[in-house]
Amino acid sequence: MDSKSKSRADTLPGGAPPPPRRARWSFSYRNPSAAGVCTQESPLVPSKNGDLWNDLTALHATTEFRDRAVGQLSAAVQIPTETFDEMGPVGEDARWETRGPFVEHLKGGVPTCMKSRGLMDEWRRNEKLELQKVNTYGLIYTWQGSDASLKPLLLMGHYDVVPVAPLSVDQWTFPPYSGHFDGESVWGRGSSDDKSGVIGILTTIEVLLEKGFAPTRTIVLSFGFDEEGGGYQGLTDENIDMQGAGYLGPALLERFGPDSFAMIVDEGVGFTETFGGIFAAPGVAEKGSVNVNVEVQTPASLPPHTSIGILAALIVHLESNAPVPTLELGTPVFAMAQCIAAHAPEIPHKLKRAILRAPKSKRALKAAEEMLLTDKMFKALVGTTQAVDLISGGVKSNALPEQALALVNHRIATQSSVNATITRDAELTLEPAPITPNDAAPYALLAGTIRATFHAARKDVKDTEIFVAPGIMTGNTDTRFNWELSEHIFRYGHNDMTDLDGGLGGIHTVNEHMVANAFVEMITFFTTLILNADEAAL
C-alpha cells in the first residue's frame, strides 16, 4: 500500500488519525462477533429492464457520453445562480432573476456562448413530462407512470449556489463561473453542490426518453432555487416567508397528499474510504437547527465595560461550555459506527471490539465514545454543535456602543430537541428530522442500487467492495419541507470522494469541481435507481 492510500485508510470518517494504540480501555470479555451486524444488501440490478440497464451502463462507459454529460454540467455552471442572505420576495428582489437564464437553459434556450444543447429538447419533443412552476423558479416535473396505484419516486436537488467572494476570485485555478473542463474535472461554483445532482438527474431522464423507456411507477422531480439560503426568505413577526423549497414542499403535499411517495432522494455526501474500507452513508436523518440572538444593551459608560466587551465575555462563556457530545445506541451515528466496525478491514482492534460490544455493555459504549470522539468530524456528527456565526455592534469610533449582537447557530443531534438545546426565543427552529427506517424495502433498494452502481463502474476491477451504512447530515437539505410526504427520505449523492483526501471537492469554497468520471457514475446511479424502483414492491 502506498503512503497516500495508507494515510486515507488509517483515518476516521473526518480524516483524523485513529486513537493511540495504548488506549486505557481493556476488556476481559471474549471478542464479540460481527456476524449479523450491518448486513449488506446484494447489488441490485434491474431484471425486467435488465437489457436496457446493460445498454445504458455500456453507453455511460464511452468517451462520447462522458463529453456529452460534461458539456451539460459545464453549461449549467456558467450560469451564476447565487443565493444571498436576506433576499426579498421573488418579483421584488432583482437578485432572484439570475434563475431565469438557468430555467431557459433547461428548456433549450442556451446562450450562444454555451456549446451545449438544451436538456429539455427530448422532453419537449416527446411531451412526456409535465412541468409545474412554483413561485416562478421552483420546478416540479412529473413523468406519469402506467400504474397509478404505485407510489411515485421523488428525486430532488437545488440549482442555486453560494456566492463567490470577490476577494477570492484570483485564487481559483479557473474562473469560478467558467465551467472549464480540463480533461479530468469540471471546475466552477455549483459543479459539485448541487448542479451536478440536478443535471445528473435530468441527463438520466433525457437518455431514458431517448431509449423509449416508459415508467410503470410515476417519477417526480423537484428542484429548488434557494437551498443555500435555507429555503427561507426571512422572518416576519407572524410567519416565515419561504421562496423556493418552502413553496415546493406544500405544493407537492397539496397535489399528492401525505405519505404519498414511496421514497425521496435528495443531495448528500457520497462514498469515501475509512480504515481501508469504502463506505457509502446515505443520510437517514438530519440534525435540527436553531439560531439564537444574544443581545447586550448598556447605557453609555466608561471603557472597558462596553456592550461589546460584555458580549465578548458571554461568547467566551458559551464556547467554554459547549454541549457535550455522547454516543448513544439507536442513533444513525452509532449504526454507522457499527458498519465500520463490522466491515472496515483496518479498524484498530480495540475500537472494533468496543463498538461491537457496546449494545450489551455501558463500559464498552463509553470506550467506543472516547475513541471515536478523537475525530472532529465524527464528534460533530454525534452531538449538538454551536457556532457564533454573526456579530455586530457599535456605530462610530468615538462613540461607546450601547448595543451589541451575536447570532449563535446550533445543529441539534437527532437524540435531542430544540427545547433541550435552548429555552429562550429563537429566530428559527428546526427539530431534528424523523429517522428513516433502515430495515424497510426503500433502504434495501437504495443500498442495493449503490452497490450495483459501484460495481458497474468498476467492471474491470476485481476484489473492490463498497459497504452501505446509515448516515446523518450535519446540515439541512430541502427535504426539511417534505417530512409529510414519505417516511423514507434519503440524502445521498453518489459521488466518489475516495481520492479527495477527506475534502469535499471545494464545496462552498475556492476551486469547487466535479471529476468527470464521478459525474458519469452519478448518472449511472440515478439510472439504476429509477429502473430498480420501477419494478420493486415499495
DSSP 181-245: B-SSEEESTTTTTTHHHHHHHHHHHHHHHHTT---SS-EEEEEES-GGGTT--EE-SS-EE--SH
Q: Taking the C-alpha atoms of 344, 275, 12 and 415 in order, what is their torsion angle to the nearest 10 degrees?
A: 0
| Alpha-carbon gap, residue 370 to 381, rounded angstroms | 14
CA atoms within 13 A on the CB side of 161: 32
Residue of 177, 180, 261, 255 lying closest to 219 (CA atoms): 261
Q: Residue 277: beta bridge partners?
A: 274
Residue of 155, 158, 157 lying closest to 263 (CA atoms): 155
Answer whether 301's CB lies under 8 Å from 372's CB.
Answer: no
Q: Which residues of 144-158 are buried (b: 16+ CB within 10 A; e: fewer)?
A: ebeeeebbbbbbbbb
Q: Which three cell numbers stand for residue 410?
A: 446550533
| Alpha-carbon gap, residue 55 to 303, rounded angstroms | 75
φ/ψ of residue 322, rounded to 5: -70, 155
Amino acid at 154: L
Annotated binding site for Zn(2+): 158, 193, 228, 266, 508
Which residues are part of the catalytic machinery?
160, 227
Q: Which three cell numbers stand for residue 328?
A: 448513544
